[in-house]
């Protein structure tokens, strides 16, 4: 036999939620202006800090002190949702999805490895949202928001092939090259590589794929110092479009790695397209070889 207190409690909640003439708006009318105003104020104050990532935390930890106030709104919504059957059918699946995403996100932050502190982007988030498998290639989307999603590339043509063996400039080295006799070197003395011009005509439609083999000696672990692989479109001195990826994201140590990324050709006019490499502050050197750029549809 159930305890009388429990029966009374269940009966009271059921009657409270199923009463058709109950209007939540009237019940919470007195408290609504205060809750609404203070909630907006809390949102504004919390959002006013320019360090929006809060030092790499997960979620908006600065909102925690406002939870008791927001509980009134959550309670009002819960009562409203439970009054009619169609609302229950709409709310319960939505609540289930939110609970799943909350558990998934907590897992990714602590064990799954999908969460990248202070660097999450919309493209990267949407790529793996709700999934427990992950691919290292997705890390490109932490730097570029463009990704070719087609099943097959068509009308592929090479616009640049460079293995640096015939290069006689000081930008290459013969010391332990990746392949052949020479490799391009990027280090703290040679911060920028030459800009390699691409014979692409403004107005073309399609994509550009830039690829290279690189080796980091040793790997640079600080994200903001990683070597950038850059594709740039200019019109005069103005940069029309620029996309890049950070190379060291894609290796675990000093192993050679073939890496590529895709960029959509800009709709704006341009008179020069180039590809190059930049070291934004690392003391470690990077060797680059077999640079290749293709245009495709």
Q: Specify the DSSP class assigned to residue 146.
A: -
What per-residue confidence (pLDDT) applies to 23?
55
Residue ranges of E strands in 137-256: 157-162, 172-173, 183-186, 196-197, 207-217, 228-235, 238-246
What per-residue confidence (pLDDT) applies to 25?
56
What per-residue confidence (pLDDT) applies to 36?
85
Is residue 261 within 8 Å of 144, Cβ to Cβ?
yes
Q: How far is 243 from 176, CA to CA, in rounded Å?
A: 30
Q: How far is 266 from 140, CA to CA, in rounded Å?
A: 19
Is residue 266 within 8 Å of 273, Cβ to Cβ?
no
pTM of structure: 0.81
Q: Alpha helix locations (H) across the chain?
A: 4-18, 24-27, 32-47, 67-83, 85-107, 122-128
- One digit per residue, the tens of pLDDT, for the chain of length 297 reads 444 444 444 444 444 444 443 455 566 667 778 888 888 888 888 888 877 777 777 777 788 888 888 888 888 888 888 888 888 899 889 999 999 999 999 899 888 889 988 888 999 999 999 999 989 999 999 999 999 998 899 999 999 999 999 999 999 999 999 999 999 999 999 999 999 999 999 988 999 999 999 999 999 999 999 999 999 999 999 999 999 999 999 999 999 999 999 999 999 999 999 999 999 999 999 999 999 999 999
What per-residue confidence (pLDDT) applies to 1?
44
DSSP β-bridge partners for residue 289: 213
What per-residue confidence (pLDDT) applies to 24?
53
Phi, psi at 290, each rounded to 5°: 50, 50
Domains along the sequence of the chain with CATH = 4-128 (no CATH), 151-296 (2.60.120.260)
Query: Which among 245, 182, 252, 183 is positioned nearest to 214, based on CA atoms?
Result: 183
What per-residue confidence (pLDDT) applies to 28?
66
């Amino acid at each position: 036999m159930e305890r009388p207190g429990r029966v009374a409690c269940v009966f009271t909640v059921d009657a409270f939620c199923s009463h058709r003439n109950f209007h939540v708006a009237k019940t919470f009318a007195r408290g609504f202006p205060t809750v609404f105003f203070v909630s907006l104020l809390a949102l504004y104050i919390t959002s006013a800090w320019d360090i929006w990532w809060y030092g790499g935390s997960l979620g908006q930890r600065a909102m925690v002190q406002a939870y008791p106030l927001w509980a009134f709104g959550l309670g009002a919504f819960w009562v409203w949702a439970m009054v009619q059957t169609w609302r229950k059918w709409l709310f319960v699946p939505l609540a289930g999805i939110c609970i799943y995403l909350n558990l998934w996100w907590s897992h990714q932050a602590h064990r799954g490895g999908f969460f990248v502190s202070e660097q999450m982007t919309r493209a990267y988030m949407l790529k793996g949202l709700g999934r427990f498998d992950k691919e290292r290639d997705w890390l490109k989307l932490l730097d570029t928001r463009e990704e070719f999603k087609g099943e097959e590339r068509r009308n592929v043509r090479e616009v640049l092939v460079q293995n640096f063996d015939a290069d006689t400039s000081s930008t290459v080295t013969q010391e332990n090259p990746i392949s052949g006799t020479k490799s391009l070197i990027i280090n703290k003395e040679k911060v920028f590589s030459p800009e390699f011009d691409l014979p692409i005509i403004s107005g073309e439609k399609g994509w550009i794929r830039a690829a290279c083999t690189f080796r980091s000696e040793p790997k640079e672990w600080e994200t903001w110092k990683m070597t950038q692989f850059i594709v740039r479109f200019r019109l005069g001195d103005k940069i029309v479009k620029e996309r890049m990826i950070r190379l060291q994201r894609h290796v675990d140590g000093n192993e050679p790695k073939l890496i590529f990324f895709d960029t959509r050709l800009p709709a704006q006019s341009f008179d020069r397209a180039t590809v190059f490499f930049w070291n934004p502050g690392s003391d470690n050197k990077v060797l680059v070889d077999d640079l290749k750029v293709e245009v495709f549809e």
